[in-house]
Structure 1
Amino acid sequence: MNDRVILLVEDNPDDEALTRRALTKNNILNELVVATDGAMALDYLFGTGTFATRNTDEAPSLVLLDLNLPKIDGIEVLRRMRADDRTKQIPVVMLTTSKQDEDIAMSYSHGANSYVCKPVDFTEFVEAARQIGLYWLMINRQAPKRGG
């Protein structure tokens, strides 16, 4: 669809592979950066740790964020993103297996833009990825960057 980065925060290698296949099948060819835990996601977003040399002016177009992550959970990643001017407007789609009302409510109360339960069936997952990509990368218009 375009060349902007999608940050996938996912600790399950099978779900990562499934997401990659679903995006590719839908011709969503954005660069996919994968963070396998919440700490790595925050390092990427804020240009710290392993990503200390990354240009943080080039924010991801979309973050696909799992809830249950090692080191720092998805809600805390979301909370920190929304608390920082550099990342507070990046669209965040919670992409998780949890259907718990508490998780859904907590995600929205901390600023998630969308909450999607991962379909178990690959065909359904491909369709969910198509709809996410179509809306968040093509239809939705993001806030302009400050100063530009």
Structure 2
Amino acid sequence: MSEKKLSILFIEDDLVETMKINRTLKKLGVNHEIQEAKNGEEALILLKSNDNLPDIILLDLNMPKVNGLEFLKILKQDEKLKYLPTIVLTTSNNHKDILECYKIGIAGYILKPLSFDAYINKLDKLLAYWSLNELIKV
């Protein structure tokens, strides 16, 4: 079964995490297109100045300037951007954060595992799932 190529916006301030996702995509042998933003503010500028929106957003919560929760609230108020499936990819297993994210309208909440193999496994399943979905372009 062939999976479609995804356009992903990866919002993460940690350089190690950015390197990790790129290594993971390479190891999985997938050719998804990835755009990177270091915080919510940078991501919003990118999204609003871009006609070619991503298929999905992978979002860290703990970031400077505009953090993940602030970014989500702004995103979901935008008529064009609110439909973008946003998956939180974070180390925070704080129940209050999880609940708040789902209230705002995220598509998923995934905890970053400590081991690289477990990370690859989670990302493989996540990307396989979203590449099978019928995604909309607004």
| TM-score, length basis structure 1 | 0.86
- SS of 1:88 mapped into structure 2: coil
- Quick one: which amino acid aligns to residue 102 of structure 2? Y
Consecutive unaligned residues of structure 1, counting only runs of 5 or more, are: 48-55
Q: CA deviation at 1:66?
A: 0.3
What residue number does 1:16 align with? Answer: 18
Which residue among 51, 54, 60 is the counterpart of 1:60? 54
Q: CA deviation at 1:31?
A: 1.6
Q: CA deviation at 1:28?
A: 2.5
| TM-score, length basis structure 2 | 0.92
Q: CA deviation at 1:110?
A: 0.8
- SS of 1:15 mapped into structure 2: helix
- Quick one: which amino acid aligns to residue 29 of structure 1? N
What residue number does 1:51 align with? Answer: none
What residue number does 1:5 align with? Answer: 7
Q: How does 1:1-148 map to 2 (within 5 A)?
A: 1-47=3-49, 56-137=50-131, 139-143=132-136, 145-146=137-138
Supply the distance in 2 between the matched residues of 1:112 and 1:58 (Cα, whole angstroms).
Answer: 21
- SS of 1:116 mapped into structure 2: strand
Q: CA deviation at 1:19?
A: 1.0
Supply the distance in 2 between the matched residues of 1:93 and 1:8 (Cα, whole angstroms).
Answer: 10
> How large is the Cα RMSD of the aligned pairs?
1.3
CA contact (8 A) 1:91 1:136 kept: no
Supply the distance in 1 between the matched residues of 2:33 and 2:85 (Cα, whole angstroms).
Answer: 16
Q: CA deviation at 1:58?
A: 1.2
